[in-house]
Chain A
Amino acid sequence: MSEIKEIIMHSDKIHTDEYLVNMGPQHPSTHGVLRLLVRLEGEIVHNIQPHVGYIHSGIEKMCEAISYPQVIHLTDRMDYLSAHMNNEAVALCIENALQVEVPERVKYIRTIMDELSRLASHQLWWCVMGMDLGALTTFFYGLRDREHILDIFEETCGARMTLNYSVPGGVMFDIHPNFQKRVKDFIKEFRKKLPEYDELLTGNVIFQERTKNIGYLSLEDAIAWGVTGPSGRGSGFSCDVRKHQPYSAYPLVQFEEKLDTKGDTFTRYRLRIEEMHESLHIIEQLIDNIPEGDFAVKMKGVVKLPEGEFYQRVETARGEFGVYIVSDGKKNPYRVKFRSPGFSNLFALNKMAAGHKIADLVAIMSTLDLVIPDIDR
């Protein structure tokens, strides 16, 4: 109740036409346990107050008690859709701190895995986007294609979502002998399926009407609110860490950072679809050229970081993910902070959705591609 009172106190004057609706924590379109306190007038959204913390699991506190390889396995559980990118961020951070040079093969494998994760995440986003807009069939088409990627993961890493594949100094297993063939089959298959996505949803006149000129986010706002990933790039914010601070095998591949300045829901949608094409392109460049070599360098049994502070940025499917490790030379970190993309992206929602209708709020939230454990950590 106190929150509601506060909101009434904070508003400039009391609007008698307005009413408050709690969207969440259990609501079909908040994709988890996110609660939005929405101030509405009729159908028009006036103000949105996100309330997070319903799935706060204290990962940062837990990390202070466990060793570095164990920290990696916890990062799976934050943004579970781009688990491998999170793993990689911590692994890279540790390798940088220890000045370990990983073999070329590891870099290639990690980059391929990154892009596969990105594809899987974008596929899930696409199906959920369709479902939020009422086209329920997209959900199953997206999941159908995602299954192939999860099978690839399962064969090589042993798990489908919580991969825990990157370890300090390399990867946990070498790639499975079937890996290359499976990935190539998947690319061939998915290249055929991607145009279907466009025909089913992108081109649809109802979809276009629903998304075009909705949820505008200006470049200034995108930067000020730290909106990254395809959501930020839809506003023209060049924020692709793969381009600006390349890691792993990204310096070796040709790819385009998809940018657009329109900043509306449809642009964010389109950029993600284009990113899927780019991801396929990146994998195609790497998959045949994986160099021979070790899949990990030999590390000591107990990983100890030198004293100091280390930061590593990677590009996940949702935007920029950062790991900030403060070490005091012991075997467990002194402080770990995760900069999660969803956290910054979510709070720009008010900027985008105010003035639009409830249905648009749902569409805008979909294009932000929120994963709630990523926000709450």
Chain B
Amino acid sequence: MGFNIYDFSGMTHNMHLWFSERMSPTATTIVEWTIIGVSYMLFVALFGLFLVYAERKVCAAFQQRLGPTRVGFWGLLQTIADFIKLLMKELIMPKSADRFLYNLAPFIVMIATFLAMAVLPFAKGLQTLDFDIGIFYVTAVSSVGVIGILLAGWSSNNKYSLIGAMRSGAQILSYELSVSLSLVTIIILAGSMQLSVIVESQRDSWFLFKGHIPSLIAFVIFLIAGTAETNRGPFDLAEAESELTAGFHTEYSGIKFAFFFLAEYINMFIVSAMAVTVFLGGWMPLHFGSFESFNVVMDFIPPLVWFFMKVLGVIFLIMWFKWTFPRLRVDQILTLEWKYLLPINLINIILMSLVVLTKFHL
């Protein structure tokens, strides 16, 4: 079992062989699934907690504050303490809520999040599923989450929740379009929907630079629409706390609330990871055509570090949006999508096709 921080495919292959030698094929599959499942759950829990901490620190810095400082060094244990508190809290259910749907909703949101994580390439060979329709799969499963939000809003038997859920439904259905179309722009450039292929073809230059202006526009649109997809930043109408107290999760408490909360942060990670994979070269290091020595130094940094550095950069950008802009109104959010993002996106696809047809990108 060789361990290579630059290429994980050998390691995973050896692991598979090691299990196959000792067990029946069925048992191997089950063991491998378990390992993958546990590692994803650990990742989601730990990275989610880290993101919550990061958000609080970053938001504090934006607001000239210090953020959490009491629990642990620099408040590092703050989110863990919060999480323990949430675990111990009583689960309250409204009297006339729809019991089954009310309990189901947080799991649907969480499942959608886990499904989308399956295809993300963290590093070379560190990818659970490598579909040839990877991008299509991500856009498909990430919109399942809205069903959970709608269920939560409907089953809570609360008017604020219902308004929030309806807003969220309208919003995510429209912005799904922009996300997909901006990804289509890049699919035209890459010629494949398989995420590993997309990353591999950015070896010499990232698509953000390769595709000239069309891919820059697509990147901006993806960031806007992606922020909207995660119900964050200026698009947090579904839980607009000054209007709807807490929107769709008003009636949720304890660990069920934590599920929604965690899902929001992990969704932010997924959107950032998609942006990184598709536009910023995934785990590929930054290369400049002729600076050989520079490229060698960049190659020395492991791909996993590259990936997370880029992801955290994009997450910081998304946080920057949230802590600067006022919230949009529900009709404006649809105006922005249908009158601005969609037409620009369609023109952008034509531009990108022209770029590809004229081989301008090579």
| A interface residues (Cβ-Cβ under 8 A, vs B) | 19, 21, 27-29, 43, 130-137, 139-141, 144, 200-201, 204, 206-207, 209-210, 357-360, 362
Contact = CB atoms under 8 A, between A and B. Distances in A.
B325 A28 contact: no
A132 B243 CA distance: 8
Contacts of B332: 206, 209-210
Interface in B6-53: none
B357 interface: no
B326 A130 contact: yes
B327 A137 contact: no
A144 B62 CA distance: 13
Contacts of A210: 326-329, 332
Interface stretch (B69-77, B190-198, B234-242): B234-242
Given A21-B160, A206-B234, A359 B323 contact: no
A337 to B, nearest CB: 34
Contact of B64 (A29, A130, A140, A362): A140
Contact of B242 (A133, A200, A360): A133
B82 interface: no
A28 B247 CA distance: 12
A29 B242 contact: yes
Interface residues of B, number: 28
Interface of B: 59, 62-65, 159-160, 163, 167, 234, 236-237, 240-245, 323-332
Given A140-B63, A206-B325, A207-B326, A131 B163 contact: no
A324 to B, nearest CB: 36
B243 A359 contact: yes
30 contacts: A19-B159, A28-B241, A28-B242, A28-B245, A29-B243, A133-B242, A134-B234, A134-B240, A134-B325, A134-B326, A134-B327, A135-B325, A135-B326, A135-B327, A137-B59, A144-B64, A200-B324, A206-B325, A206-B328, A206-B332, A207-B326, A209-B328, A210-B327, A357-B330, A357-B331, A358-B163, A358-B243, A359-B243, A359-B329, A362-B243
* Smallest CB-CB A-B distances: 4 pairs: A134-B327, A140-B63, A133-B326, A135-B326
Given A210-B329, A357-B330, A362-B242, A137 B324 contact: yes
Which of the listed residues A27, A131, A201, A359 has the most CB atoms from chain B within 10 Å of its own CB?
A: A359
Given A21-B159, A28-B245, A135 B328 contact: no
A155 B101 CA distance: 58
Nearest to B323: A137
Given A29-B243, A134-B236, 10 more contacts: A28-B242, A43-B167, A133-B327, A134-B325, A204-B325, A204-B326, A206-B234, A206-B327, A206-B328, A359-B243
Nearest to B322: A136
Between A133, A207, A210, the greatest number of chain B beta carbons within 10 A of the residue's beta carbon is seen for A133
A141 B63 contact: yes
A201 to B, nearest CB: 7
Identify the interface centre among B62, B63, B243, B245: most chain A CB within 10 Å of its CB. B243
Q: Determine the main DSSP class of B at the interface with A.
A: helix
A244 to B, nearest CB: 35
B242 A137 contact: no
Nearest to A365: B242
B64 A134 contact: no
A43 B170 CA distance: 13
Contact of B62 (A19, A137, A201): A137
A340 to B, nearest CB: 24
Nearest to B62: A137
Nearest to A209: B332
Q: Identify which of B160, B167, B324 gathers the most chain A CB atoms within 10 Å of its CB.
A: B324
A359 B326 contact: no
A231 B142 CA distance: 45
Contacts of A144: 64
Contacts of A27: 245
A136 B243 contact: no
Contacts of B331: 357
Contact of B65 (A130, A131, A133, A140): A140
A121 B330 CA distance: 30
B248 to A, nearest CB: 15
A362 B323 CA distance: 19
A346 B251 CA distance: 30
Contacts of B234: 134, 206
A322 to B, nearest CB: 31
Contacts of A136: 59, 63, 323
B8 to A, nearest CB: 40
Nearest to B325: A206
B63 A137 contact: yes
A23 B65 CA distance: 31
Nearest to B159: A21
Contacts of A133: 242, 326-327
